[in-house]
Amino acid sequence: MTQLNLHLSTWTVQQGRGGREEGREWGEEDTGLCCGFPGAPAHSSVSFSTTELGPGTVASYSCDRGFELLGPARKICAENSTWTPPGIPFCGEY
């Protein structure tokens, strides 16, 4: 199983384990987030500019050591609740 760590100011999320903020548990279906999770490639970390994934939030991607990011390093949550640009970057081994 690939572990995915997301870093939101007060949130820590691990793939398959849900997340927690001040004792509140949530899973993928119950995030209450405007844009939802934008997706992330294996061997990566995603950081968000705000704790609520609403319009204007920036998702910044980085790859683990030994991997190179192929594709956009940043996505923005648009007013229509979609991430732009579309798609998910890839972390290729170098």
Answer yes or no: are the C-beta atoms of 58 and 52 closer than 8 Å: no
Q: How far is the C-alpha of 47 from the C-alpha of 33, rounded, in Å?
A: 15
Burial of 30 per CB tally in 10 Å (0-12, 13-18, 19+): exposed
Q: How confident is the model at residue 34 (pLDDT cuts 50, 70, 90)?
A: confident
On the question of pLDDT at 32 being above 60, the answer is no
State pTM to two decimals: 0.66
| Residue carrying structure tokens 């940043």 | 74
Which pLDDT does position 33 carry in this prediction?
A: 52
- Full set of structural domains in the chain with CATH: 5-93 (2.10.70.10)
